[in-house]
Amino acid sequence: MSSTRTSSDASRSSGSSADVPDGRRGGRLFGGWCAGLLFAGVSVVVGCRAADTDAFTPVPQLLAFLPWLLVPAGLGVLLSLLARWWTGLVWGVVLLALLAWFVEPYGRTGEPEGPPVARLRVLTSNVEFGWATDALIAAVRREEPDVVFAQECEYGCQAAVTRELGGTYPHRRAVEGDTSVGSIILSRFPLTPAPVVPGRMGMPGAVADVDGHAVRLQLAHPKPPLPRQVTLWKRELGRLKDFAARHRDDGPLILAGDFNASQDHAAFRRILDTGLYDAARLAGRHREPSWPTRTTPALGTQIDHVLVSEEFSANRARFLDLPGTDHRSLLVDVTLHKPR
């Protein structure tokens, strides 16, 4: 009798799984499975980020919100702890470390060596099918940018900004179109025509005479990575990358607009790799979201950018909330330094 009790007590003190109540054992098993599913989903996205590929749906859509994958990864770590699944715990910690690494800003930084020769304010705004036209006009009058890049500025939008702002911005280059196709560049500086970058939505270009210095302006608006349009999205971002590469040694360049891509997309990083700088990052706003406005600034992704060549420095960047559009506008103050 005594030896039986002693054996039973020893068994309980050893923490054997046989002594864990069935309900608790089932809970641990369920928690482990949930953690594994979370880790598996996050691992696919993080693996594509590490492999420098945007892959296919749903990876591009999830990559846009890469920093927010810290939430399911962290939840998986907690579930692994509760389930005492030590392999899963290591898996989750590795994922958290990789996510923390990739959240860091991407791209070059630096200051131009030449002296400043001109200062200009640049605004890029997606007005969503022209619905935010009145808000754009009010913002332009209030903020007084020197150059405006407006996407999804369809026929009515282009007519309104020409009528209301034509006196202050007498120089314009546009691609006419309905809904999301139309786009326009407004400028205080004289403009000469430049080729458009081909795309399903308008991407006009021009050369601005900024106090005697030629500055190439190019509006960006590739198709978004919708489930059946990922290949088209990659192709149009590739055209923007090719454009930037061709103009790398041709003097100052501003490439601005709704890129429908964040720094976590390989196709966008390849544009930065041509030698361009993200003005928002230079001004300390590299992770502030610009879309969708229903959840920004608490939750979202930055897909609206002003990219500049090495002749520019960025002094300030602000995101503006315009009623009527699902994008926040980006306003940056940049300084042009004496080109090489």
For the stretch 48-107, pLDDT in tens is 999 999 999 999 999 999 999 999 999 999 999 999 999 999 999 999 999 999 999 998
Peptide bond into 58 cis (omega under 30): yes
Q: Do β-strands 304-308 and 116-126 pair in parallel, antiparallel, or remain unpaired? A: unpaired
Cα distances (angstroms) measured from residue 115 to each of 313, 317, 338, 339: 11, 21, 6, 9
C-alpha–C-alpha distance, residues 39 and 48, integer Å: 14
Residue 19 has a pLDDT of: 59
C-alpha–C-alpha distance, residues 304 and 259, integer Å: 6
Rg of the chain on CA atoms, in Å: 26
Amino acid (one-letter) located at 65 = F
C-alpha–C-alpha distance, residues 89 and 74, integer Å: 10
What would the mean pLDDT of 218-236 be, rounded to a whole number?
Answer: 97
Quick one: tokens of 54? 């945007």
Q: Which contiguous run of DSSP H or E holds residue 184?
A: strand 183-187
Residue 76 has a pLDDT of: 97
Position 16 pLDDT exceeds 70: no
Quick one: tokens of 246? 């061709």
C-alpha–C-alpha distance, residues 150 and 171, integer Å: 14
Burial of 330 (0-12, 13-18, 19+ CB in 10 A): buried
Picking from 123, 127, 68, 63, the residue whose alpha carbon sits closest to that of residue 326 is 127
Residue 10 has a pLDDT of: 41
Amino acid (one-letter) located at 329 = S
In the three-class reduction of DSSP (H, G, I as helix; E, B as strand; rest coil), residue 80 is classed as helix
The domains found in the chain, sorted by start residue, are 22-103 (no CATH), 116-337 (3.60.10.10)
Band (pLDDT 50/70/90 cuts) for residue 4 is very low
Cα distances (angstroms) measured from residue 214 to each of 164, 206, 209: 27, 10, 5
How many CB atoms within 10 Å of residue 37? 13
Position 8 pLDDT exceeds 80: no
How many CB atoms within 10 Å of residue 261? 29
Quick one: tokens of 50? 């590490």
Position 273 pLDDT exceeds 70: yes
Burial of 65 (0-12, 13-18, 19+ CB in 10 A): middle
Query: What does 83-112 look like in DSSP terms, one character per residue?
Result: HT-HHHHHHHHHHHHHHHHHHS--S-----
Residue 27 has a pLDDT of: 81
Amino acid (one-letter) located at 142 = R
Residue 20 has a pLDDT of: 59
Residue 11 has a pLDDT of: 43
How many CB atoms within 10 Å of residue 247? 20
Residue 109 has a pLDDT of: 84
Position 175 pLDDT exceeds 70: yes
Residue 259 phi, psi dihedral angles, 5° rounding: -85, -10
C-alpha–C-alpha distance, residues 54 and 51, integer Å: 9
Q: Do β-strands 329-337 and 304-308 pair in parallel, antiparallel, or remain unpaired? A: unpaired
Residue 110 has a pLDDT of: 82
Band (pLDDT 50/70/90 cuts) for residue 38 is very high
